[in-house]
C-alpha cells in the first residue's frame, strides 16, 4: 500500500465531507489517524475506511455494520471476508427495503380507503345540510 498520508482537510475536501464528520468517525473508533502534536495524519487505510463508511451510510448501514466491515479489511487476502460480509449485508438491506416498499404500498391503500370514506361522509353531510335549508 502507498505511504501517502492525508491531513483531515485533504480527506474532507477529497470526499466532500466536513472535518467535523471525520472527527466524529474517529471518536467512534472507526478511524485511527497518527498524531503529530495536534495534527492528525491519516493513512491510505483510513481513507479506505472513510470511503466505506460513507458508502455504507448511503445504502443504509448502521455505524456498527460499517465497523464490522472495516474490521474485516485485509488487502493482503484480497478482502474476501469483507466482500462476502458486504454482499450478505447488501442482501439483508435489500430485503428490508423490499419489505418497506410492501409496507408503504399497504399504507397507501389504507390512506386511499380512509380518504374515500371521509370524502363520502363529507358529501353526505353537505347534502343533508343542504336538504335542511
Average pLDDT value over all residues in the chain: 93
- The x, y and z cell numbers of residue 116, run together, are 374515500
pTM, whole model, 2 decimals?
A: 0.72
In degrees to the nearest 10, what's the CA dihedral of 64, 103, 58, 60? 10
State how far the Cα of 33 lies from the Cα of 54, in Å rounded to an integer: 17
pLDDT digits over 42-90, tens only?
999 999 999 999 999 999 999 999 999 888 888 888 889 999 999 999 9
Half-sphere exposure (Cβ direction) of 58: Cα atoms closer than 13 Å: 6
In degrees to the nearest 10, what's the CA dihedral of 68, 39, 18, 21? 30
Q: Which of 89, 79, 7 is nearest to 41 (CA)?
A: 7
pLDDT digits over 87-104, tens only?
999 999 999 999 999 999
Amino acid at each position: 500500500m502507498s505511504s501517502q498520508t492525508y491531513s483531515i482537510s485533504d480527506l474532507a475536501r477529497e470526499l466532500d465531507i466536513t472535518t467535523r464528520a471525520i472527527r466524529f468517525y474517529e471518536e467512534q473508533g472507526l478511524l485511527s489517524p497518527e498524531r503529530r502534536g495536534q495534527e492528525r495524519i491519516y493513512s491510505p487505510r483510513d481513507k479506505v475506511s472513510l470511503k466505506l463508511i460513507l458508502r455504507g451510510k448511503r445504502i443504509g448501514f448502521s455505524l456498527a455494520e460499517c465497523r464490522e466491515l472495516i474490521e474485516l479489511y485485509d488487502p493482503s487476502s484480497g478482502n474476501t471476508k469483507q466482500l462476502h460480509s458486504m454482499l450478505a449485508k447488501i442482501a439483508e438491506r435489500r430485503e428490508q427495503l423490499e419489505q418497506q416498499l410492501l409496507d408503504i404500498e399497504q399504507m397507501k391503500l389504507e390512506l386511499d380507503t380512509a380518504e374515500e370514506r371521509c370524502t363520502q361522509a363529507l358529501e353526505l353531510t353537505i347534502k343533508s345540510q343542504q336538504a335542511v335549508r
